[in-house]
Amino acid sequence: MTASHPPFRVLCLPGSLRRDSWNRRLLWAAAAHAPATLSLELYEGLGEVPLFDEDSARTRPEDLAGVDALRSAVAAADGLLIATPEYNQSLPGVLKNALDWLSLDSPQGEVLEQKPVAITGASTGPWGTRLAQTALRQVLHACGALVMPTPTLFVASAASRFDADGRHADEALAVSLHRMTTALDRWIAQLRPETRDARPVCG
Amino acid sequence: MTASHPPFRVLCLPGSLRRDSWNRRLLWAAAAHAPATLSLELYEGLGEVPLFDEDSARTRPEDLAGVDALRSAVAAADGLLIATPEYNQSLPGVLKNALDWLSLDSPQGEVLEQKPVAITGASTGPWGTRLAQTALRQVLHACGALVMPTPTLFVASAASRFDADGRHADEALAVSLHRMTTALDRWIAQLRPETRDARPVCG
């Protein structure tokens, strides 16, 4: 049973820019099947994040509106849910590029540092983004994010797992998504600074 | 001793867009210290490759001039030399994004398939891009490229390894670069289709 609290804001990042991507559908379905204590919002601006370039970061800050918008959205969120496709046995360059920007220090700090994150991913093939999620997990660890260890959720054969409008998952996946988002709710609650501060000190 | 042949064209890809990046210097130095049987050309167009988007690939091919240019350069090269920085314990999103595009089929075929590739990388810290190169190697394998297994070259403490104009390496690194590029020359020679066709068949 999740404790009652004002909904945690969870920013959902799809790793693919394709409008009808399976991972966008997976995030829609996650929102449909999440507990009421989570408010999931899909972030649609990853395509506005330019290629990482430290020269432009110094000399053309006006080009970085897409980075600033993403950074602000991440900073304002209580947690992240990232759904990644697998390209060439790893996470997409588009997603890694966004994380490279987010790992820089900024006026808002390093916004991934200490951020609770859950990861998942869908593919139409049989492997369910096993290698992409493993690579993504390591990158997020390197960024200082607090990646939820379990439950994992690898979605294979994605083309047969969603309804016609792509907004809802089949029954088994709906159960898995509810379990994962409920665990994310607990993960965020347990890691919140005020919770950490309130913890009894041992010894 | 490398056999005499018309120079192999090696396209050099720096994984960072920064003008003065250590990996760009590493590739300049590789060109300075390579055997005469290799012709190394630095590719400067990675910043023109848009974010990977399968929708744009279908609907806005006019946006993909940067992809077409890269693909043509790779197709025309006898081999590649990639120098990667390490961002968040992996290869940069910019480099992965370019490889995601190159892994698609095209009128020129899958241009990384069967392409001889050597990888290296430089970082100012103590680890010399160990994890970035490991991640890059796996991605290239997934793309069907033929990645040279040895010698490996991990360049740590990069800020102290090049001369003032950044075009030449210190003596130890020059030796390593000569050894690596000489091995790449042999690797390309041994993998060329005409060589493969000429091989005696056993059995």
The pLDDT tens digits for A5-48 are 899 999 999 999 999 999 999 999 999 999 999 999 999 999 99
pLDDT over 60 at A175, yes or no: yes
* d(C-alpha A46, C-alpha A92), whole Å: 12
* d(C-alpha A50, C-alpha A36), whole Å: 35
| pLDDT in the model for residue B59 | 78
In this prediction, residue A164 has a pLDDT band, given cuts at 50, 70 and 90, of: confident
Q: Which residue among A16, A55, A97 sits closest to B94, beta carbon to beta carbon? A: A97
Q: Which residue among B19, B53, B103 sits closest to A88, beta carbon to beta carbon? A: B103
In this prediction, residue A202 has a pLDDT band, given cuts at 50, 70 and 90, of: low
* d(C-alpha B158, C-alpha B29), whole Å: 12
Test A90 with B55 for CB contact under 8 angstroms: no
In this prediction, residue B197 has a pLDDT band, given cuts at 50, 70 and 90, of: low
Residue (of B3, B16, B65) closest to B42 by Cα position: B16
| Residue pLDDT, tens place only, B13-45 | 999 999 999 999 999 999 999 999 999 999 999
* d(C-alpha B91, C-alpha A115), whole Å: 22
ipTM: 0.93
Task: Please name each of the domains of chain B with its CATH number.
Answer: 9-194 (3.40.50.360)
| Residue pLDDT, tens place only, B60-110 | 788 899 999 999 999 999 999 999 999 999 999 999 999 999 999 998 899
Q: Are B176 and B150 contacting, i.e. CB atoms less than 8 angstroms apart? A: no
Test B51 with A47 for CB contact under 8 angstroms: yes
**Which residues in chain A touch residue B99, judged by CB atoms under 8 angstroms apart?**
88, 93
Q: How far is CA A88 from the centre of its chain?
A: 20
In this prediction, residue B1 has a pLDDT band, given cuts at 50, 70 and 90, of: very low
Average pLDDT, chain A: 93
| pLDDT in the model for residue A37 | 97
Specify the pTM.
0.94
**Which residues in chain A touch residue B147, judged by CB atoms under 8 angstroms apart?**
none
Q: Which residues pair with A90 in a beta bridge?
A: A87
> Quick one: closest CA in B to A102, which residue?
B88
> Quick one: closest CA in B to A46, which residue?
B51
In this prediction, residue A157 has a pLDDT band, given cuts at 50, 70 and 90, of: very high
| pLDDT in the model for residue A1 | 47
Tell me the residues of B at the A interface, defined by beta carbons under 8 Å apart. Answer: 16-19, 46-47, 49, 51-55, 87-100, 103, 131, 135, 138-139, 141-143
* d(C-alpha A50, C-alpha A136), whole Å: 20
Tell me the residues of A at the B interface, defined by beta carbons under 8 Å apart. Answer: 16-19, 46-47, 49, 51-55, 87-100, 103, 131, 135, 138-139, 141-143
CB neighbourhood size of A52 (10 A): 26
Mean pLDDT of A183-190: 98
Residue (of A86, A66, A79, A74) closest to A40 by Cα position: A79
Most B CBs within 10 A among A21, A22, A52, A112, hence the mutation to make, goes to A52
Q: Which residue among A51, A142, A143 sits closest to B17, beta carbon to beta carbon? A: A51
Test B94 with A93 for CB contact under 8 angstroms: yes
| pLDDT in the model for residue A56 | 83
pLDDT over 60 at A203, yes or no: no
Distance from CA of A141 to the nearest CA of B (A): 8
**Strand-strand pairing, A79-83 and A146-147:** unpaired
Determine the residue type at B75.
Answer: A
pLDDT over 70 at A195, yes or no: no
In this prediction, residue B49 has a pLDDT band, given cuts at 50, 70 and 90, of: very high
Candidate from A123-127, A197-201, B32-36, B80-84 with smallest mean pLDDT: A197-201
In this prediction, residue B2 has a pLDDT band, given cuts at 50, 70 and 90, of: very low
In this prediction, residue B196 has a pLDDT band, given cuts at 50, 70 and 90, of: low
* d(C-alpha A134, C-alpha A149), whole Å: 11
| pLDDT in the model for residue B92 | 98
In this prediction, residue B200 has a pLDDT band, given cuts at 50, 70 and 90, of: low
* d(C-alpha B29, C-alpha B166), whole Å: 8
Q: Which residue among A47, A88, A139 sits closest to B143, beta carbon to beta carbon? A: A88
| pLDDT in the model for residue B203 | 46
Alpha carbon distances (Å) from B15 to A16, B85, B123: 21, 6, 12
SS3 assignment, position B174: helix
pLDDT over 50 at A2, yes or no: no
| Residue pLDDT, tens place only, B162-176 | 988 878 899 999 999
In this prediction, residue A192 has a pLDDT band, given cuts at 50, 70 and 90, of: confident
Instruction: Indicate the length of chain B as a whole number.
Output: 203
* d(C-alpha A92, C-alpha B96), whole Å: 7
Residue A175's Cβ-side half-sphere holds a number of Cα atoms within 13 Å equal to: 2
| Residue pLDDT, tens place only, B126-161 | 999 999 999 999 999 999 999 999 999 999 999 999
Helices (H) and strands (E) in chain B, counts: 7, 6
* d(C-alpha B90, C-alpha A35), whole Å: 34
* SS3 annotation, chain A: CCCCCCCEEEEEEECCCCCCCHHHHHHHHHHHHCCCCEEEEECCCHHHCCCCCHHHHHHCHHHHHHHHHHHHHHHHCCEEEEECCCECCECCHHHHHHHHHHCCCCCCCCCCCCCEEEEEEECCCCCCCHHHHHHHHHHHHHCCCEECCCCCCEECCHHHCECCCCCCECHHHHHHHHHHHHHHHHHHHHHCHHHHHHCCCCC
